[in-house]
Homo-oligomer: A and B are copies of this chain.
Amino acid sequence: MRLPPPSAADPFRPDALRADAVPTLSDVRDAAARIAGLAHVTPVLRSRSLDALAGCALFFKAENQQRAGAFKFRGAANAVFGLDATQAARGVVTQSSGNHGAAVALACRLRGVPCTVVVPRAAPRVKREAIARNGARIVDCEVAQSARDAATARVLAETGGELVHPYNDARVIAGQGTATLELLQQVAAATAAAPALDVVLAPLSGGGLMSGTAIVAKGIDARIGTIAAEPAGAADGHDSLKSGVRVTGRAADTISDGLRAELGPLTFALLRQHCDDVLLVSDAETVAAMRLVWERLKVVIEPSGAVPLAAVLKHRERFSGRRVGIILSGGNIDLDALPGLLALAPGR
């Protein structure tokens, strides 16, 4: 059963890892130790009927059931609880379309640190509410990356606070990597295969989750495939990694509201090194996959979390007979917006 972690009064030690460092498997292990008792150990879900449908063995890491409803709490908790006392006293600043903001707000509340979140106006209601519920100050901005960056810089200058960037931050990437570390440990404990998985997939947006995922997978066993899944309407990550030139400044067009960011310099470099491939899916394919997860696994995930399963179902031959890990990245969905989403991929 999943009982609450102990109180946030646990002792912690400052993190020597700088935001602009290149994180390693060892940093992910440090992060796992730091956030133990703060973050949930989320379950690994399986479904016979989805395995049959996909023609492979699927292991779903249910980060939708992480605190604040997404994997983002891992990176946020690692960054916030790794601050030294002087940094912590000045407070934390971040920018987010939602899940990272809520996660940083929660981590700051648990440590008793002031928090400001820069939120683009298009962010879903439930995500905005989750930030406010955790007591953070919200600063609104326009959707474009340049507008987000400008507003964040302004708040940083005003407050002197510590930036915890949603993905281009080694502390955050190390924290996100703990999801895959845990997944591989859980599958290894339950099965005899080595490596525990043949391939692991995560959704790609700014690249924090995918970088952490790839560092861990390749660090534990270089034979483990690392595949990013991205909406075709926000293919900047795909195009960046295929061309070797980081694409910036494009407008994203996808219902996956968590996947509209672009790679940062740090995540771009990490993914060039550790990510094997990027697969693209349409929004209709994402919604069809989301519907399958809801119906077969009985868990609520947001569209972004369904993108990797959509990629597996689209490229079935690539995964045939393999042991496939999928990070179900989050479950924060606006139920009132659901009818419009489901209409993109109607039931049979």
Contacts and interface: CB of A to CB of B under 8 A. Distances in A.
A64 B298 contact: yes
A336 B331 contact: no
Contact of A299 (B3, B186, B300): B300
A197 to B, nearest CB: 13
Contacts of A44: 1-2
A335 B299 contact: no
Interface stretch (A139-147, A201-209, A237-245, A338-346): A338-346
A158 interface: no
Given A1-B186, A1-B187, A347 B342 contact: no
Majority-rule SS of A interface residues: helix
Contact of A335 (B43, B65, B190, B291): B291
Nearest to A296: B69
A84 interface: no
Interface residues of A, number: 38
B346 A190 contact: no
Interface string A28-52: 0000000000000001111011000
Given A43-B1, A347-B334, A298 B298 contact: no
A126 interface: yes
Contacts of A191: 3
Nearest to A3: B190
A327 to B, nearest CB: 14
A163 to B, nearest CB: 28
B346 A46 contact: no
A4 interface: yes
A294 interface: yes
A295 interface: yes
Contacts of A64: 298
A3 B65 CA distance: 18
Given A295-B300, A298-B301, 20 more contacts: A1-B44, A1-B186, A1-B190, A2-B43, A2-B46, A3-B46, A3-B190, A4-B46, A43-B43, A64-B298, A69-B298, A126-B295, A291-B335, A294-B335, A298-B299, A298-B300, A299-B299, A335-B347, A336-B346, A338-B338
12 contacts: A1-B43, A1-B46, A1-B187, A1-B190, A2-B44, A2-B46, A3-B190, A43-B43, A64-B298, A125-B347, A126-B295, A294-B335
Q: Return the 3 tightest CB-CB contacts between A and B, nearest first.
A: A298-B331, A1-B44, A339-B339
